[in-house]
Chains A and B, each alone.
Chain A
Amino acid sequence: MSTPLLKVENLRIALAGHDATYSAVENVSFEIGRGEAFGLVGESGCGKSITALAVMGLLRRPLSLGGGRIVLDGQEIQDVSAAEMRRLRGKRIAMIFQEPMTALNPLSPVGRQIAEMFVLHQGMGWKEAMDRAEDALRQVRVPSPERRIKDFPHQLSGGMRQRVMIAIALACGPDLLVADEPTTALDVTVQAEIIDLMAELCAAKGTAILMISHDLGLVANMCKRVAVMYAGRIVESQPADAIFATPSHPYTRGLVDSLPRLGERSKRGRQRLREISGVVPSIAAYPAGCRFNPRCSSVTDICRTVAPDATPLPADGLVRCHHHG
């Protein structure tokens, strides 16, 4: 790979508690190439969303950057000034969120919210910017955009709002789109449409995607490479097709096996679902060694004391497990 678009190196995110500081995310490294779709998967509390916020420079107390480097197109952005970061956000990197109703300004017509991007980042006049906003709405396939630009967010359905979010995010042709659970609040048939739309627009504009989700199937469908996070660490990363075929970490294997998949029952009859025992540990009580060890079926003594290093996998991937394979 030539120089990656985004390189995250040994990212650590600190969480200040009442009497102690915890590492909410540690030792997280990944690269995203130009125009590549990369997925970050994990359960609630694993640190995937705050990793996305760190990339956007949006960590706020009690969260803060505890170490590591975030390199966008050769430029280190973890220490740039707030003003510089504001210029980057929207222009070079943009983000869409899970719940579009809370991310949009309820008091401003959606056309104006899109046009604002052109005015702020490209110095356009409002009149021209409103014309461009209408084009942007047309691109995300909002019906009758000439009328819809005057609508307020509450007048739109959930799917339409998420289309507006996408239009805002892609307005200035960013290099990287960070999408944090963009379809979790939507119905399944609408979700399919939004995912297709995002993938299509980003492919056309050469925009890379950092996709954050709890849905391994959704991410594997859309992304070229996938990293799985558990309790603040990346436990495995692999090309998307390999992660289902040859999951290497016991946690990934557990996730792949534990969900009923369409078509399985017709082929093999109803099998008992493989369970992952136990629960996700809380941040104040992360176990020593490998953080998955209390729930792992192949746990040995070393897992309880030594955190496993990353071992490369054959197909451009890595796994953090003492007993992988």
Chain B
Amino acid sequence: MADSLLSLDDLAVHFKIGNALGGGIKTLKAVDGVTLDVKPGECLGLVGESGCGKSTLALAIMGLLSPTRGSVGIDGLQITDSKAADRMKMARTVQMVFQDPYASLNPRQTVRRTLADPLRLHGITDKAEVEGRVIDMMAKVGLRPEQADRYPHEFSGGQRQRIGIARALILKPKLVICDEPVSALDVSIRAQIINLLLELKDELGLAYIMISHDLGVVEHVSDRVAVMYLGRIVEQGGWQEIFEDPRHPYTRALIAAIPDPFHRAAISDKAKARGEIPSALNPPPGCHFHPRCPLKADICVSQDPTLAAVAEGHRAACHFRDRVN
């Protein structure tokens, strides 16, 4: 699509595991045929449990892993065949906020250095301009100018995440990938960071990919939602469709699994998934979800469902996508 900021076409990232001497080489299909796009200013929520490939997908978009198949297009550039110069341009377009603000900041760099380095690297050498943009960005994320010369250990978890966000935004990217940005933070701090991310999105016109396993957060921030299971997208659509009219049993299982003291969600306990997530090294045949699925039938074991439309902009990969609850 021409107006997309990010477009993934049949993207796959496979890893070779093991060696030829001991037991042979296996292929781990971490991401297996993902087609997605993100429009400017839009927030796409990416949901799934550990091992579903959501973080691998993020790394592939960042250009930190090369895809086995398919393509990543960012702002009109194909990053799969990119040259070094294109990579620098890409870094100005896509940035990332990481989960753990204790691990993702250099402990030996002050805030000023952490924020100024990317600017210098991208050719902004005028001292006054660098200083201005650093202080400006600190103010935007709620840090005071006099904190610029402090080191990460002098900050609390929430403040560190603010530094992480500032670092991601200092180059004025158009797309920010947020990988579980609040799950390492104290519960009473999370609201501050979520509010900040939403304010910055409106103020700067950012697009987000919000990776999270917390459906409450995803529902709150997303315009569209994609649900991943074992390397594939099993359902995608507008946030309202995903949360009010989910068509894939896995999406329903995720919603049913949220502790819900007031039974707000319209999903019953019967939708819960059974058993455990299979290994991605050896996924079940047919629909990957069938061993845990309450709707399992013979066709699910033999045939792989395609991600087909339920309604305009709402697609689900389930043979029974038209069966409502």
Contacts and interface: CB of A to CB of B under 8 A. Distances in A.
Interface in B197-236: 198, 213, 215-217, 219-221
Contact of A215 (B194, B259, B292): B259
B274 A187 contact: no
B191 A263 contact: no
Nearest to A192: B257
A279 B253 CA distance: 35
B190 A189 contact: no
B321 interface: no
A275 B192 contact: yes
Contact of B257 (A143, A189, A277): A189
B191 A259 contact: yes
Contacts of A191: 257
A207 to B, nearest CB: 20
A266 B243 contact: yes
Contacts of B273: 189, 193
A188 interface: yes
A218 B259 contact: yes
Given A44-B186, A189-B272, A261 B216 contact: yes
Interface in A220-247: 220-222, 240-241, 244
A265 B219 contact: yes
A131 interface: no
A262 interface: yes
Contact of A279 (B189, B272, B277): B189
Which one of A143, A254, A274, A280 has the highest number of Cβ atoms from chain B below 10 Å of its Cβ? A280
Interface in A241-261: 241, 244, 251, 254-255, 258-261
Interface in B249-308: 253-262, 264-266, 272-277, 292
A222 B260 CA distance: 10
A103 interface: no
Interface residues of B, number: 46
Contacts of A222: 259
B264 A214 contact: no
A264 interface: yes
A43 B190 CA distance: 12
B19 interface: no
B98 interface: no
B125 interface: no
A316 to B, nearest CB: 17
B240 interface: yes
A270 interface: yes
Contacts of B240: 266
B192 to A, nearest CB: 5
A251 B191 CA distance: 14
A189 B215 CA distance: 12
A220 B262 CA distance: 10
A258 B257 contact: no
Contacts of A44: 186
A interface bracket (residues with beta carbon within 8 Å of B): 35 or more
B244 A266 contact: yes
A273 interface: yes
B265 A262 contact: yes
Interface string A46-83: 00000000000000000000000000000000000000
A276 interface: yes
B190 A263 contact: no
Interface in A166-225: 187-193, 195-196, 214-218, 220-222
A280 B261 contact: no
Nearest to B222: A265
Interface string A114-157: 00000000000000000000000000000100000000000001
A217 B188 contact: no
B27 interface: no
Contact of A187 (B49, B159, B192): B49
A266 B267 CA distance: 14
B158 interface: yes
Contact of B187 (A143, A258, A274): A258
Given A220-B261, A255-B187, A276-B191, A262 B216 contact: yes
B49 to A, nearest CB: 4
A15 interface: no
A262 B261 contact: no
A187 B277 contact: yes
A33 interface: no
Given A192-B256, A262-B265, A160 B187 contact: no
A309 B49 CA distance: 44
B276 A273 contact: no
A258 B190 contact: yes
Interface in B144-169: 156, 158-159
B244 A187 contact: no
Contacts of B272: 189, 192-193, 196
Contacts of B255: 262
- 7 nearest A-B residue pairs (beta carbon): A260-B220, A263-B264, A192-B257, A258-B191, A187-B49, A273-B191, A221-B259
Given A259-B191, A260-B219, 6 more contacts: A189-B257, A189-B277, A195-B259, A244-B262, A261-B264, A262-B265
19 contacts: A143-B275, A189-B49, A189-B257, A193-B273, A193-B274, A195-B259, A196-B272, A215-B187, A215-B259, A240-B261, A244-B262, A258-B187, A262-B243, A263-B219, A263-B265, A263-B266, A273-B195, A275-B195, A279-B189
